[in-house]
Amino acid sequence: MVATDGRRPARVAERIRDVLAEVLARVVNDPRLRGLSVTSMEITDDLRMVRVGVRTIEATVPEARRKEIIKGLEKALGVIRRELTTRAQLRFAPELRFHYDAGGDAQTRVDEILAEIAVKRTGDAG
């Protein structure tokens, strides 16, 4: 179902990603969506549905903030789809499904734990 190796879906996905990032930065005026970046893009082979991963530049994001981001994206969906179709020169507006990409949050937590371990080891050695 998800296109990863097809040439056309991959090209369209890349174009959608570029246009979506521009639309989120310059067109959508929702304060909940400031500093948002597109982190992943999965597109079906028929180009009708796109699953979009987004995240903020903040190191850790509480669950309530994540829900507000998704609500903001859903509210702006009409504008986003219209701009996307026009700017990416698509024949039809694909269905967009947004999710918050929490992978960076997990990496940040792992880094914090490793730093704590390093501090404990240097404290034990001294």
Structure tokens at 57: 């530049």
Q: Say how far apart CA 31 and CA 29 lie, in whole Å.
A: 6
The whole-chain average pLDDT of the chain stands at 85
Residue 106 above 50 pLDDT? yes
Residues composing the chain: 126
Query: Which residue segments constitute the domains of the chain, with CATH numbers given?
Result: 2-101 (3.30.300.20)
Q: What is the pLDDT of residues 62-97, one digit of tens each?
A: 899 999 999 999 999 999 999 999 999 998 889 999
Of 110, 107, 97, the residue nearest 54 (C-alpha): 97
- The model's pTM is 0.73
Q: Out of 28-32, 100-104, 107-111, which region has the weakest mean confidence (pLDDT)? A: 107-111
Of 53, 56, 76, 78, the residue nearest 65 (C-alpha): 56
Residue 1 above 50 pLDDT? no
